[in-house]
Structure 1
């Protein structure tokens, strides 16, 4: 394994710890199993499907990324599909779903995806994720070294699955520069099994979006308009909140939308995620603010 290139070495190490083998899928039997995993993860009702097996077959046949993660018994426990892109990155990762029976399988797929791309001369991967789900943001920013770059309002429109039904489908576009300094640091940690690189020290900063005493969002519009460094919080568990208090979940969606679109449109960048404080954003002088 000493002669194995770094991307493959990282991918193999992460997959071994997760107890899975990640490989490309072939044939309709495997495509049907992958589609069934997506439907189970997204809790699709009778008669519906998250992604047609035939579409997965067509994507794989035309050279795109369609893989499954298999446990020691040979059963598929996760699947992922991505397609080549001329947009923000050379590959757009559309969907990844895991059944939750194998810890670390999502990471195993992403590091396999990185190796697959670099083998083909693809230097960046993009995907969308729900910016209110803190564990996804942490995984993308800290575990992978990707960077959120653009807020997309109601990107998918109304979706009928149990996870997204009844809420606007706002998404954050993340871009993973596969050989960037953050990605290489994350790869080194992943290869060794070390914790994700911790947040760097930051001076005291104000929260443009905070969690109020009642758990609802609170916007500090002065910080939003003026401060060069701010944080934007998110609820601890918005997925549960959608079920127990959908009005509060919607309030969080709209508040985060206002704060992040305002900041990103003014030239701010999301540079980190801080435990208990959410996204850390830096806005350079002259980008929507004035310095004396």
Structure 2
């Protein structure tokens, strides 16, 4: 069923007012009307170096991806602002297809790399961004959007990874060794374990940092524990990224079945931009 549906999904760039109005209606379903982008703004993006991709199933818009140009004082790049999927069509691989099409479109337009942010404690996003797409992270942004009151972010600082994705095809070694040290340790073998044994002085070329497998469940049941994970992982990521490591993958490890583990690597790596 999943494979047949994916084969029937078509993706194309959107240009007309009518199409962008469809995007806004879908944004309202995915988030809220207040969080949706006005059509006059999305149209300005489309006409000035950005683009919006739409995924259609049986002529129905079921997902979209919204990008605009950015400039850091030295070069122009593409900013991946948002990706929304209708609740009825999630976890089918549509997000990955949209990102692959985004990369192709960006490359054809002359962009060398794409950036976006995501919450490092949201492992579904981490698996797509790092493990499947092969993007990397070299910057940790603490509370970048301030305190928000939506369902995903309420009650906790909005710390984010800044993702960097080269538009050229990159090959990355996924080999790891069992001797890679951990920069922190979960205090038990269940989802509600506390982060413990923080180590900010490691000098290994590769480091593991575990995060909970279902952060939203922790938030719902124990907000103070969720804040603890935010604070402790924030200290770890900020420390090692400032010292030259990059986050290159998100993995599952047998020793922590209720957690995912970020791989940090230092030195010349295949995916460096």
- Per the normalisation by structure 2, the TM-score is 0.83
Indicate which of 110, 114, 120 corresponds to 1:131: 120
Indicate which of 73, 76, 84 corresponds to 2:61: 76
Sort the Cα spacing of 1:164 and 1:111 in 2 relative to 1 into closer, same or farther, 3 A: same
Counterparts of 1:44-59 in structure 2 under 5 Å? 44=32, 48-59=34-45
Q: Distance in 2 between matches of 1:52 and 1:27?
A: 14
Q: Aligned pair 1:200/2:175, yes or no?
A: yes
Shift of 1:248: 1.4
CA contact (8 A) 1:271 1:280 kept: yes
In the alignment, what sits opposite 1:97?
Answer: 84
Q: Give 5+ residue unaligned stretches, structure 1.
A: 1-13, 186-196, 285-292
Structure with more strand by fraction: 2
Task: Please give the root-mean-square deviation of Cα atoms over the aligned residues, in Å.
Answer: 2.4
C-alpha offsets along residues 216-270 of structure 1, whole Å, 9 cap, x if unaligned? 342434x421341321111011122222222211111111101100111122222
Shift of 1:161: 2.1
In the alignment, what sits opposite 1:165?
Answer: 154
Q: Aligned pair 1:259/2:236, yes or no?
A: yes
Structure with more helix by fraction: 1
State the aligned residue count. 252
Indicate which of 181, 194, 197 corresponds to 1:220: 197
Worse-matched range after superposition: 155-164 or 108-117: 155-164
- Per the normalisation by structure 1, the TM-score is 0.78
Where 1:126 maps in the other structure, the secondary structure is: strand
Sort the Cα spacing of 1:139 and 1:96 in 2 relative to 1 into closer, same or farther, 3 A: same
CA contact (8 A) 2:131 2:251 kept: no
Q: Aligned pair 1:149/2:138, yes or no?
A: yes
In the alignment, what sits opposite 1:35?
Answer: 24
Counterparts of 1:233-248 in structure 2 under 5 Å? 233-248=210-225
Q: Distance in 2 between matches of 1:239 and 1:18?
A: 31
Sort the Cα spacing of 1:162 and 1:218 in 2 relative to 1 into closer, same or farther, 3 A: closer
Q: Distance in 2 between matches of 1:180 and 1:220?
A: 38
